[in-house]
Structure 1
């Protein structure tokens, strides 16, 4: 077990943390001054890649490579990670001549990685090196070399990969960001890769995906009594009922809010037809609209339910704010 220094309580932890952050920030900032033609050529290689962008590395560089691969994959560039050790035991079969291979090693002399470079080159894949040593074996065997070297590690012993891994990660992010901008990658494209996330739900979920259909939609004819309309509201639990003729076209809406207002007016509700007290110009929404548009409609118009109609004003569904909340688009 590591020994705890007796004067540990006297150490200035905040000062040490700030120093580490400063070292890492300087390492990332220095990358900008070293960007050049090789970076531009790497971007072009990725943009014109007909295969996949494959990240390869071992150890801490391998962990950074995994994250970079994930970033590429989530922003429109097919990408995955290959462990250099596993590559020499069969995983080289994942790499083809159509791929771009980005190899990460701070020293550039990582034995497991260097050992598979000739085999990758023989397959015809383009090799992009991300290394801190421009005179290393990795740099010599690569087609393109991106310098992500650092002056020193944030580790006080200058041993544990800290600033160097941060710099490599930042450089990988820069590559991915430039590529996604060059591709014209949009929020909608991002959502397609993230259907389970909040953005994906907002950009991919349509009204038709969350609306109530068929017998779950409360509907009564215009000849229905107010009592019958109230029973339909209660039975379907949507807080309102639509009023439609035999052709299924929407004629109006009656809500539980409308009922409360009638009671407040002291009207005799017996004998009233729902068509006499309905809202004849209700707000509606199309089934092909995004669900978030239904949210905005309800918020702007201060309503809790909306009828879904097609281009012929025929009722095809209905939903309320709770339906949208359950679909997690609110």
Structure 2
């Protein structure tokens, strides 16, 4: 029996060693972990409406065009489940989010085992302007894969391996290019590799270019600022390249002690200096309710984990081999 059992143990060890394993999530820095936990606790202040102004119920239907009403003077917090985010094809802001009224989007990925493949929606503001100050926050995610164009704003996932899938090559155009192209007089926003970028001391590391720079005309050039300058999102020009999670301006805060009242606090806005409390104290917005998700979505997420099902199949094969060997030895003893 030692021979067959030794072979069985060896097969189990080889199978478990060769089993596909997901990429380990990076350990967030203490500052990032604390900031992420504080932002994840922000109560939702944004209700769900379609672009016609009708309220939406969760779970959202596929192909949803979501209207976000940006309220000036305070952070706007939208809480979405990962499934609801992937069912949203367009996010329309009533007005561009600003530094004093940013949009924080907390995405819950726990029902997907914190491994999220994100079909990025279109993001715009009414009137066609730039969306402004957005933050896509994945507080518990371990892996985020972006499919589609990079969204505006900042992706903040301190505990996740964030990657961007390569875009398909453009189809060849039947119209030949002009033989004498006219050079554009506009200055390129992307400096050469290793060059100096506005807001980034020392320039960019080799292989990286800025996705977007948001100039801040309301801040003096010599104003001190902690954390990452501006909110440039850096992405690598590599296939499924890792995208570093940039920090949002450190002033973003939504308050710490929610109150039963639904009136947001004026002290929950963005200036770096602590503002004076209004008479009666700060009153944050309504508490966020948990996002209902279907049980089938959770089961589908569990079934998509190759390591789990591979291990179960390997265990069943090992048990079948043990039963077969035991039955064979008993039959051999009966015959002889």
- TM-score w.r.t. structure 2 length? 0.23
> Which structure has the larger Rg over C-alpha atoms?
1
- TM-score w.r.t. structure 1 length? 0.24
More helix by share: 1
Highest relative contact order (Cα 8 Å, sep 6+), 1 or 2?
A: 2
